[in-house]
Amino acid sequence: MPTRCLVAASDLMAWSRIANIVRAAGMEPVQVRKAEALGDPAEDVGAIVVDLGDPAGGVAAVARARSAHPGARIVAVGPHVHTDLMSGAKEAGADATLPNSAVADRLGALLTTPRR
């Protein structure tokens, strides 16, 4: 069974796009519709994608995910104009941040890069 990747995105379009990238990276995408669910520990979570512009996401969701899944790779995605959200996500524990425009090209590689 592939490693799971939690995806905090309730928007159907964002979820579909990210889920396809996660599958292509060899992981099993699991949609998380509420940020609180990111705090539920699970042993087989290798990566987490947080949509910063989604009610299921945000900086608090990154912090919750980092606390519950200290070994998981966390990538936060969002609008490039929201630099405050991107900075906040890094401070909250995201390993990487990506503007939405770079998700298709870079997310897969970031998900499979080991944490340092």
Q: In degrees rounded to 5, what are phi and psi of residue 49? A: -115, 125
Q: Is the model's pLDDT at 1 over the cut of 70?
A: no
- Give me the CATH number covering residue 95: 3.40.50.2300
At residue 76, the pLDDT reads 96
- What is the domain count for the chain? 1
Q: How far apart are CA 53 and CA 46, in angstroms?
A: 22
Buried b (16+ CB within 10 A) or exposed e, 53-76: bbebbbbebbbbbbebbeebbbbb
- pTM, entire model: 0.92
What's the domain range around 37? 4-112
Closest CA to 51 of 11, 92, 22: 11
Q: How confident is the model at residue 2 (pLDDT cuts 50, 70, 90)?
A: low
Task: Name the range with the highest mean pLDDT among 54-63, 74-83, 92-101.
Answer: 92-101
Q: How far apart are CA 2 and CA 26, in angstroms?
A: 7
